[in-house]
């Protein structure tokens, strides 16, 4: 007797559900994508207990007739792919025909839909169609999913807690709202509204709805194109960062994707503008011919493969860098604001109700007092257009900050300066570090043959393993204009060094460079010189508690103004914080508005 048998459709759907439907967010994702493909202009998502009990997605799209409504729950039934050729030219969010049957196989589903001519209701329990009836629903579709994973208790057991489930859904719907500002999105949980956009096709307004006023006024518009790609969107000022890379929203032809190479490219554009471990808020859409990408590489369709990625990388880096270099990026100092902390009960737990109430309260608190001065969000968005301060010009030379006049030093670390715009606090170590970093980077990149001979050679002895690595990379030291020779066992002599090494720290600097060579597993010429520049700049700069004179402060500030990026040290920490005249007057109650 044959052992191989064709599995039942119900079993196949449950297996597919293991990949397609892992949690409540996946259900919302599939239903919302179907609504978008149906050309909806308004999509409403209503949850009960973060979707574990119930998920209802209602749209005003084209709807379905009775035949399509029934066929939609058959495996691999889709209206979006008809031929193999279509697979390489996908312009819809869904295309496999697995989502609805997979969802229906592990839940109770009620579908109500109408194409404007006839309404249909389909009731399915555990993947089995129980009834098909007429419905009087207006044009559009409403899908109710109840008791997710009721018939797969093991999967239900391993659902995340309600707060995490809700957080995942909120994050996804936020990203879809950013992807489609022309569609109105409404999200509620247990009757409480978490998101409500207006569908006016204003991306900045959607950013305001999600992140609040203080973030949205610090967003920079980015756009650019080359022969293969076109990009547009918003990126935040370097001072606006978060600890999670989840705030970077990347879209390809309107589809939310998570591609590590794309995120890495964006972060490279912010290099030295933000610290390691911090991420800018980004909404960036990439438009490309579908033939140049492959989205059929993962069941969730969240990753993507690019053809000619180097062209996209160059375009993103160039476009973001251009905008960052165009602006004055000095953050304003602000008084500390109260934080809304969640209180624990006697058992040390936080109730789900408190979590949701706190989320809503924090979301509402994002609308600062500044916002209340405006009558509508439309006025705010108009104000944003003039928010990006262009760089000043002095004596036909472009500088990124105006001249500042030092008046004193606080704690031996922070220079206090002023000009007609207000007051500034400058971290003297960070400022000097930026100056030295750019000096060393430029000097190492010029390939100048200037060398200084040592009267007494410097002898450096290493361990066996370190010496082997260094010997393999002698060429790096020679390219940097070091004259070296082997001297005995595991020892080298330095007879000459490049002119740019700090005179009072020659041996220390050489040892640091050798440490970097030994510690690197693979070498990229630019990254190597940059690492050396950062290390030397950090070690050779003025330290905290080093008291300097007013003349030294003035020289430091004037030199900082000449750098390419005077706003951050090479580690991404700010060099300058400003207090405008108006902010000072508010602090001292001279200005009461």
Task: Kindly state the DSSP code that residue 187 receives in the 8-state scheme.
Answer: E
pLDDT of residue 357: 54
* Predicted confidence (pLDDT) at residue 88 exceeds the cutoff of 60: no
pLDDT of residue 298: 52
Q: What is the Rg, in whole angstroms, of the alpha carbon atoms belonging to the chain?
A: 30
- Are 466 and 554 contained in the same domain? yes
* Predicted confidence (pLDDT) at residue 580 exceeds the cutoff of 80: yes
- Are 164 and 310 contained in the same domain? no
Contact of 209 with 229, CB cutoff 8 Å: no
pLDDT of residue 489: 87
- Are 578 and 449 contained in the same domain? yes
**Confidence class of residue 567 from pLDDT cuts 50, 70 and 90?**
very high
pLDDT of residue 276: 86
pLDDT of residue 426: 94
- Are 412 and 343 contained in the same domain? no
- Are 210 and 177 contained in the same domain? no
- Are 450 and 426 contained in the same domain? yes
Domain boundary among 368, 390, 412: 390
Would you mind telling me the total number of residues written for the chain in this entry?
A: 593
What is the overall mean pLDDT for the chain? 80
Contact of 415 with 556, CB cutoff 8 Å: yes
Higher-confidence position of 6 and 318: 318
Rounded Cα–Cα distance for residues 569 and 435 (Å):
8
- Provide the total of helices (H) and of strands (E) in the chain, helices listed first: 19, 26
| Strands in 197-280 per DSSP E | 219-225, 229-236, 241-242, 248-252, 255-257, 279-280
| CATH number reported for the structural domain that contains residue 409 in this entry | 3.30.1540.20
The reply to whether 283 falls in a domain is yes
- Are 98 and 236 contained in the same domain? no
| Strands in 289-326 per DSSP E | 293-294, 305-306
Rounded Cα–Cα distance for residues 179 and 387 (Å):
24
Higher-confidence position of 36 and 504: 36
The reply to whether 482 falls in a domain is yes
pLDDT of residue 248: 93
Domain range for 384 is 202-390
Contact of 252 with 90, CB cutoff 8 Å: no
**Confidence class of residue 433 from pLDDT cuts 50, 70 and 90?**
very high
pLDDT of residue 183: 95
Q: What is the mean pLDDT of residues 139-155?
A: 85
**Confidence class of residue 46 from pLDDT cuts 50, 70 and 90?**
very high
pLDDT of residue 127: 80
Angle between helices 377-385 and 203-211 (to 10 degrees): 110
Domain boundary among 137, 161, 196: 196
| CATH number reported for the structural domain that contains residue 246 in this entry | 3.30.230.10
The reply to whether 414 falls in a domain is yes
pLDDT of residue 86: 45
- Are 181 and 218 contained in the same domain? no
* Predicted confidence (pLDDT) at residue 106 exceeds the cutoff of 50: yes
Domain boundary among 196, 219, 242: 196
Higher-confidence position of 383 and 541: 541
- Are 364 and 404 contained in the same domain? no
When mean pLDDT is compared over 176-180, 290-294, 399-403, 585-589, the highest value belongs to 176-180
- Are 181 and 209 contained in the same domain? no
Contact of 101 with 13, CB cutoff 8 Å: yes
Express each pLDDT in 359-416 by its tens digit. Answer: 555 544 444 444 443 333 433 333 333 333 444 444 444 577 889 999 999 998 999 9
**Least confidently predicted of 285-294, 452-461, 571-580:** 285-294
The count of other CB atoms within 10 Å of the CB of residue 69 is 23
CB within 8 Å of 95: residues ≥ 6 apart? 78, 80, 81, 86, 87
The reply to whether 239 falls in a domain is yes
Higher-confidence position of 204 and 385: 204
Q: Which residues pair with 71 in a beta bridge?
A: none
**Confidence class of residue 478 from pLDDT cuts 50, 70 and 90?**
confident
Rounded Cα–Cα distance for residues 336 and 9 (Å):
59
Rounded Cα–Cα distance for residues 113 and 137 (Å):
6
- Are 273 and 294 contained in the same domain? yes
pLDDT of residue 560: 94
Closest CA to 239 of 579, 573, 578: 573
Closest CA to 501 of 526, 469, 535: 535
- Are 142 and 228 contained in the same domain? no
* Predicted confidence (pLDDT) at residue 200 exceeds the cutoff of 60: yes
Q: What is the mean pLDDT of residues 243-252?
A: 90
Contact of 115 with 139, CB cutoff 8 Å: yes
Determine the distance from the C-alpha atom of residue 80 to the mean position of all C-alpha atoms in its chain, rounded to a whole number.
31
Question: What are the structure tokens assigned to 420, written together?
Answer: 């007609």
Contact of 545 with 414, CB cutoff 8 Å: no
Determine the distance from the C-alpha atom of residue 311 to the mean position of all C-alpha atoms in its chain, rounded to a whole number.
20
The reply to whether 2 falls in a domain is no
pLDDT of residue 358: 55
Find tokens 């934080």 and name the residue.
339
| CATH number reported for the structural domain that contains residue 126 in this entry | 3.30.565.10
Rounded Cα–Cα distance for residues 216 and 235 (Å):
10
Q: Widest CA span of the chain, in angstroms? A: 98
The reply to whether 454 falls in a domain is yes
Domains in the chain, number: 3
**Least confidently predicted of 51-55, 77-81, 207-211:** 77-81
């Amino acid at each position: 007797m044959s052992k191989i048998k064709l599995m039942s459709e119900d079993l196949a759907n449950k297996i597919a559900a293991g990949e397609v439907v892992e949690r409540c967010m996946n259900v919302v994702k599939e239903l919302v994508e179907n609504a978008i493909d149906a050309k909806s202009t308004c999509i409403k998502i209503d949850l009960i207990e973060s979707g574990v009990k119930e998920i209802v997605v209602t749209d005003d799209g084209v709807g379905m007739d009775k035949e399509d409504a029934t066929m939609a729950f058959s495996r691999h039934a889709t209206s979006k792919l008809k031929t193999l050729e279509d697979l390489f030219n996908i312009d819809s969010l869904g295309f496999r025909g697995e989502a609805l049957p997979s969802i229906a196989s592990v839940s109770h589903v009620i579908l109500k839909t109408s194409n404007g001519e006839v309404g249909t209701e389909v009731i399915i329990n555990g993947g089995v169609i129980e009834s098909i009836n007429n419905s009087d629903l207006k044009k559009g579709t409403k899908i109710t999913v109840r008791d997710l994973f009721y018939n797969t208790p093991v999967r239900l057991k391993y659902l995340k807690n309600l707060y995490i489930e809700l957080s995942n859904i909120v994050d996804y719907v936020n990203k879809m709202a950013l992807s489609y500002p022309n569609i109105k999105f409404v999200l509620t949980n247990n009757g409480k509204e978490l998101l409500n956009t207006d569908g006016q096709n204003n991306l900045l307004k959607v950013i305001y709805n999600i992140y609040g006023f203080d973030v949205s006024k610090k967003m920079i518009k980015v756009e650019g194109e080359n022969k293969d790609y076109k990009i547009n969107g918003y990126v935040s000022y370097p001072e606006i960062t978060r600890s999670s890379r989840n705030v970077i929203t990347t879209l390809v032809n309107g589809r939310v994707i998570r591609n590590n190479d794309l995120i890495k490219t964006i972060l490279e554009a912010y290099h030295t503008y933000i610290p390691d471990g911090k991420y800018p808020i980004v909404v960036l859409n990439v438009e490309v011919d579908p033939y140049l990408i492959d989205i059929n590489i993962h069941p969730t369709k969240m990753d993507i493969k690019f053809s000619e990625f180097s062209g996209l990388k160059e375009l993103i880096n160039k476009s973001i860098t251009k905008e960052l270099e165009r602006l004055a990026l000095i953050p304003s100092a602000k008084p500390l604001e109260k934080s809304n902390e969640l209180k624990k009960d006697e058992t040390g737990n936080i109730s789900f109700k408190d979590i949701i109430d706190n989320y809503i309260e924090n979301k509402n608190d994002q609308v600062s007092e500044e916002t209340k001065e405006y009558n509508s969000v439309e006025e705010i968005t108009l104000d944003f257009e003039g928010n990006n301060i262009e760089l000043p010009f002095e004596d036909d030379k472009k500088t990124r900050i105006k001249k500042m006049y030092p008046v004193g030093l606080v704690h031996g670390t922070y220079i206090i300066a002023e000009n007609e715009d207000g007051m500034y606090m400058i971290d003297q170590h960070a400022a000097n570090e930026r100056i030295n970093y750019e000096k060393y980077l430029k000097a190492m990149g010029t390939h100048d043959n200037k060398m200084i001979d040592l009267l007494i050679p410097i002898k450096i002895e290493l361990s066996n393993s370190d010496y082997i690595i260094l010997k393999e990379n002698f060429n790096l030291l020679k390219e940097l204009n070091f004259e070296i020779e082997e001297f005995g066992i595991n020892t080298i002599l330095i007879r000459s060094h490049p002119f740019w090494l700090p005179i009072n720290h020659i041996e220390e600097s050489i040892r640091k460079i050798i440490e970097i060579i030994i510690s690197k597993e693979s070498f990229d010429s630019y990254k190597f010189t940059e690492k050396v520049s950062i290390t030397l700049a950090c070690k050779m700069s003025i330290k905290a508690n080093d008291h300097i004179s007013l003349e030294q402060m003035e020289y430091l500030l004037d030199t900082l103004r000449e750098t390419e990026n005077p706003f951050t040290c090479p580690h991404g920490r700010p060099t300058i914080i400003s207090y405008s005249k108006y902010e000072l007057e508010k602090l001292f109650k001279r200005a009461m508005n």
